[in-house]
Structure formats: structure tokens, C-alpha cells
Amino acid sequence: MYTEEQARQLVIEAGLKLVKDGLVARTWGNVSARCGENEMIITPSGIAYDILKPSDLVKVNIVDLSYDSNIKPSSEKGIHAAVYRMRKDIEFVIHTHQTYASAVAADERDLPYAPCAAYGLPGTDRLKRHVIIALEDHPDHKKFLLAKHGALLLGENMEEAFNMAEQLENDCMEEFASRIPSMDEDNWKQINVEKYQTKRNPYVKLVRDKFVGECCRAGVTVKPYLDDFAQMVGPDMSVIEYNHAAVRAELLLRNAILVKGIGAICVGKTEDDCEAAASIVIKNCAAACYVRKAPPLKKLDAFTQRMVYLTKYSKKKNG
């Protein structure tokens, strides 16, 4: 069992590794470590991993979720606490938004190596209840999918938790390839995306990959299959023919669009906003390509998450 000092240091290290390995974007995801019979150290809500200090982390009682700090712990503290209560062998928990696991989780089904907890809005009791059910039904598993959200990895230490994340991503990559063995190559047109910079959104990025290309060719408005897409991009993403005026008009309404023959154009008021939107567009396009029967997020859920993000989390992240 970790001491409090060890737990704080390891959680800091884990947060930096999550970002470095591309397992999360912005402040999404969370990390915790057990430090005592009834306590854990967990990442706070809405503070970027690259500026976290050990003193920013919050010690939470895993029985009643109480904490003695002016800093608010992660909204998913209930999930982490449930893991520690139910699994005495677990000392470290990470929740990721890794690409292939998230895309596969959008299909809302169990895999042999990773049960899938049913969907619930982030930070809600409903999501916590669904995770507890998955833990009860699969007491020997350490890798779990969270429907339309991401993954939950358990370890006897930090190293094992990250090993679980790597194994899950590799397994989900193979699962993805078994359903979609190949995609057509795209002949992208060259454009200067800097002309879509505005005072409101001075940063712009052009994204071109096989998932974006597939969605561009399909020409159908892309729905939110992942809740971080709903939060940061919005309740949908248009696919349009290339026309300068049309692109500018669409980017007034949303910060990412798909343009046939061009790719995804993402904009943001900070470079970090823009990069995060780009990574989330790729992930949601992958999910849209993979899903067969599972529906996208409900409109109300998508709008709710978008508004919460705009009025709360983006302000935290951008200071």
C-alpha cells in the first residue's frame, strides 16, 4: 500500500504519462492511488495534467467520498472509490479516453477481455452504478470499457494499470481491424487553412486520416458517438462540399467540420483547444466507422454536455 507522499508523486507521474502517451486530451480522464485502508489520492477537477502539483491532488475517503480540501476532486471520484472498496487487490486506477478502446466502447458491448459498463453521463450516479454492476459481474477483470466514454484500468500498482491500458488498446485495435480490415486511400486537395483563422478562433488545424476520409466520403452528418466529442465539438459535425464561404459560415457555428476532398478543419481560441478538437474528431470518426447497431448519444445528452463544457470546463482550462 502506498504512503500518501508516494501516492501523490505517482499520480502526478501518471497524469503526465497519460498526456504523453495520448491516452487523454485536455483535463479528461483521471487517476487515483490508494493510500491507506479507506483513503485515496485522486486528480482534481479541471486542472491540466502538465501543471499539476502534488498539493493539487485531493485525498478522498473511499467510504463516504468526503475530502478536506479547497480543491474539488475529479467528478468520477465515486467510480474510483467503488473500485477500491470492491477490489482489495487494486492500488491504482486510471480512466482514459484512448482512441481504439473509446471507438470500440461506442458499440456498447462486452468483449471477452473487456466488459463494457452501460452508458451514463460523465460524473453522474448513473455512470457509477453501471460501473459497479460491471465490477460485480466481472470480479477478475482489470480492463473495462465505458460505453461511449472511454476505458477504466485497474492495477496492483501504476505499472500494471498502464500495462492494462496498453493491452486494451492493442486488443481493441485488432478488434477494429477485424471489423474494418481496410479503408480507401484519399487524394486530398491542397488548401491553405490559415485563411480560416479569425479573432474568435485564431488557431486552425487540418486533419487528414483514414477515419476522417471515410466519413468525408460517406457525406453524412457525423453524430456524437463519444461524449468528449459532444463536449468539445458539439451535437454533430457537418460534411460539406468545399466552398470558401460555406466553410467560413459553418465554422461560425462549430469548431470542427468535415469537407469532402479536404479533410477535417478544426479551429480553436487556443492552440490546445485546436489540438484537442483535432484528436477528438479522429476518435469520433473512428467510432462512427466502427459502430454497427448502437445509436449515437441522445440529442439532449449531447447538448447538455456541450453547454456544461462551454460554461464550466473550458473556462477552467483556459484560466
Looking up residue 226, the CATH number of its domain turns out to be: 3.40.225.10
Q: Of 146, 179, 212, which closes a domain?
A: 179
* Residues whose CB falls within 8 Å of the CB of residue 230, separated by 6 or more in sequence, listed in order: 224, 297, 301, 302, 305, 306
* Model pLDDT, residue 319: 37
Specify whether 39 is located in the same domain as 140. Answer: yes
Specify whether 240 is located in the same domain as 175. Answer: no
261 falls within a domain: yes
pLDDT tens, the chain, 319 aa long? 899 999 999 999 999 998 888 888 666 789 999 998 999 999 998 888 889 999 999 999 999 999 999 999 999 999 999 999 999 999 999 999 999 999 999 999 999 999 999 999 999 999 999 999 999 999 999 999 999 999 999 999 999 999 999 999 999 999 999 998 887 777 899 999 999 999 999 999 999 999 999 999 999 999 999 999 999 899 999 999 999 999 999 999 889 999 999 999 999 999 988 998 999 999 999 999 999 989 999 999 999 888 888 887 654 554 3
Q: What are phi and psi of 93, to 5 degrees?
A: -135, 135
Kindly state the cell numbers that stand for 240: 460539406
17 falls within a domain: yes
146 falls within a domain: yes
296 falls within a domain: yes
CA distance 158 to 152: 13
What is the side-by-side order of every strand in the sheet holding 92-96?
Answer: 58-61, 39-42, 30-34, 92-96, 150-155, 143-146, 116-117
* Model pLDDT, residue 310: 81
* Model pLDDT, residue 256: 96
Kindly state the cell numbers that stand for 111: 468483449
Q: Of 179, 201, 223, which closes a domain?
A: 179
Specify whether 232 is located in the same domain as 303. Answer: yes
15 falls within a domain: yes
CA distance 25 to 308: 17
98 falls within a domain: yes
Number of domains in the chain: 2
Specify whether 202 is located in the same domain as 173. Answer: no
Write out the DSSP string of the chain: ---HHHHHHHHHHHHHHHHHTTS--TT-SEEEEE-STTEEEEPBSS--GGG--GGGSEEEETTT--B--SSPBPTTHHHHHHHHHH-TT--EEEEE--HHHHHHHTT---BTTB-EEPP--TTSHHHHHHHHHHHHH-TT--EEEETTTEEEEEESSHHHHHHHHHHHHHHHHHHHHHHS-------PPP--GGGG--SS--EEEEE--HHHHHHHHHTSPBP-SSHHHHHHT-S-B-EE---HHHHHHHHTT-SEEEETTTEEEEEESSHHHHHHHHHHHHHHHHHHHH-SS-----HHHHHHHHHHIIIIIHHHHT-
* Model pLDDT, residue 314: 55
* Model pLDDT, residue 187: 87
Q: Of 179, 213, 235, which closes a domain?
A: 179
Specify whether 37 is located in the same domain as 137. Answer: yes
Q: Which domain holds residue 209?
A: 193-317
* Model pLDDT, residue 316: 54
187 falls within a domain: no
Specify whether 33 is located in the same domain as 100. Answer: yes
Specify whether 172 is located in the same domain as 213. Answer: no
* Model pLDDT, residue 154: 98
CA distance 301 to 164: 30
* Model pLDDT, residue 21: 86
* Model pLDDT, residue 318: 43
Q: How far apart are the first and last CA of the chain?
A: 36
Exposed/middle/buried for 257, CB within 10 Å: 0-12, 13-18, 19+? buried
CB 195 within 8 A of CB 243: no
Specify whether 125 is located in the same domain as 240. Answer: no
154 falls within a domain: yes
Maximum C-alpha span of the chain? 61
pTM of the predicted model, to two decimals? 0.93
CA distance 287 to 145: 14
Kindly state the cell numbers that stand for 71: 480543491
Specify whether 175 is located in the same domain as 197. Answer: no
Specify whether 148 is located in the same domain as 24. Answer: yes
